[in-house]
Amino acid sequence: MKAKGKPTKKKPAKKRPSRKQQSKKTSPQKQRLQDELVRLLPEVEEEGLIFLLKQAQVLIHNLQVDRINREVEELEQTQQSTTRAAPSPAAYRRAARAAAVVDIEEAANGEAFYLVFPDTRKILGLEEMRLLVRACYEPKRKSEALNRMYRWMQRERRDILSDGKIGSNSSRLLEAIFHRIREKYTLKE
């Protein structure tokens, strides 16, 4: 029981900052873009919203990768002052970028696939994806599979090689695509 005469203090509820308070924290340009996006959202269909959400996730992921790359570079610079034979910051960035920063997303209808690189997205049709899956599974050795994937991209999809900055069949990014395909898909017989 509560004693009479002793009022209990209520903790004030935390309020969300108003739009005006939020705009003080963001630049006018960013606020204008956010307002425009919010205004347009009711007109976007569900599939479009899913696409926008995935794009936002890719952007945030890329920002996180950039942050990690900066941290690795800073760490490298501090280690370089104490050790002589440490790899260059560029080597760390290349390794971080190639270390499975590749994803494959499927369109809602299953007829298209998005190959997501750190800097770009490439769309593949269902048949193209089937060819890549086959190229990853049919050869006995990984090196043969990478050769087959690279040759197919040279013949059919040079844009993937150039936009993904894949210079040869020994590219780590090509290897990351190989591993990602094998993680997500199997070859139907």
Three-class SS of 8-24? CCCCCCCCCCCHHHHHH
Q: Confidence class of residue 138 from pLDDT cuts 50, 70 and 90?
A: very high
- pLDDT of 86 strictly over 60: no
The pLDDT tens digits of the residues spanning 56-73 come to: 787 787 777 778 777 777
- pLDDT of 75 strictly over 90: no
Full-model pTM: 0.49
- pLDDT of 3 strictly over 70: no
* Overall average pLDDT of the 62-86 stretch: 70
What is the spatial distance between Cα 89 and Cα 108, in angstroms, rounded to a whole number? 39
